[in-house]
Structure 1
Amino acid sequence: MKIKLTLGLALLSLSSALFAQSDYKQAIGARISPASNYDVFAASYKMFLAEQPALEFNLGIGGNRYAYFVNDYRTTTISASAAYQHHFAIKPVDGLKWYVGGGATVFHSSSKYDPFKGVSVGLFPTGGADYKFKKIPLNVSADWRPTFLVAKTDQYNGFYGDGFGIAARYTF
């Protein structure tokens, strides 16, 4: 009798644990944000901590062209960002979730024009939608990350509201 009870409780807790998990635990791929200055293209890694909370990490490259009077300046940047996301299921569609959260980014700019050179640090709220395909190991997402620079080089603006991005990742 004890074995049946123990086995029943173990199966019940296992099934509830499996039911509580997200559609995927981890994903790796790429995120593009064409209007961004610091992470036009980024490698992206996302991991769920439980059913709703997730962390997303990005390593990106970017750049821009600035024209001042008769001079043309180009910047090249490398960046790293981390974000916390809290997901909520959108019930009619399996695998579709929306999320909100926030994060931080650090990027280094290089340029022939000194006021663009250096390290900048930004904070951003984030929100978006995340979809995991049922039959293939693919996740896609779209998000918005308006970034407030708390430390910046001389020529950068303090706010970038054009941080829209899309990502595609292999799930495992």
Structure 2
Amino acid sequence: MALILYSSPAKAQQGYYNTMVGVRVGTSLGGSLKRFVTDNSAVELMVFNRWKGWNVALLYEYHMDIREFRGMEWYLGGGAHYGKWTKDKGEPPWVSKPTQDYGAFGVDFITGLEHNFHNTNIYLSFDWKPAYNFVDFTGLWWDEAAFTLKYSF
């Protein structure tokens, strides 16, 4: 399997590769691993800390070029997440004093912009990732947004 999955000349010239790792900073702090599975679709794994608990999200994303801005794409997609807060350490906002472990499981939606810095391996993305939980805290988390600085290889 070739390292570069893109066969179109325009995308190959922009320096696209099939795997990216990054640091995620916003309403949460964490990391990201993205792998393109086709020319326009990717699977992204996010691991991040919020309210002193850990969350993992696995997302499928579809990317589309913004022709007016070279190196810029927008994407949208969805997936699932799981979060864990342990007693005496976690501070989930839906409990006043954590006396037990809490978990959250649900579905996610994601939309964002991703920019490649002039044919380099460096990317910057901004996304909004609302989620709906089915366990422990049933409801909508609408405020998850972050910048992610990524390196492709």
TM-score by length of 2: 0.80
The structure 1 residue matched to 2:39, chosen from 27, 51, 56, is: 51
Pick which of 138-147 and 18-27 moved more: 18-27
Q: CA-to-partner distance for each residue in 1:112-139, whole Å, 9 max, x for gaps?
A: 3346622210211111111111243211
RCO higher in 1 or 2 (8 Å CA, sep ≥ 6)?
Answer: 2
Pick one of 6, 19, 34 that aligns with 2:9.
19
Structure 1 partner of 2:91: none
Cα deviation, 1:56-113, whole Å, max 9, x if unaligned, reads 11111221xxxxxxxxxxxx20111111100110002221101110011101012333
8 A Cα contact 1:20 1:51, kept in partner: no
CA–CA separation in structure 2 for the residues paired with 1:86 and 1:135 = 21
- What residue ranges of structure 1 are gaps of 5+ in the alignment? 1-15, 35-39, 64-75
Structure (1/2) with the larger helix percentage: 1
Structure index of larger Rg? 1
- 1:30 is aligned, of 23, 27, 39, to 23
- 8 Å contact kept, 1:142–1:166: yes
Separation in structure 2 between the aligned mates of residue 127 and residue 116 of structure 1, nearest angstrom: 34
In 2: Cα distance, 1:134 partner to 1:25 partner: 17
Q: How does 1:1-172 map to 2 (within 5 A)?
A: 17-19=7-9, 23-34=16-27, 40-63=28-51, 76-112=52-88, 113-114=97-98, 117-152=101-136, 156=137, 158-172=139-153
Identity %: 22
TM-score (normalised: structure 1): 0.72
- RMSD of the TM alignment (CA)? 2.0
* Count of aligned pairs between the two proteins: 137
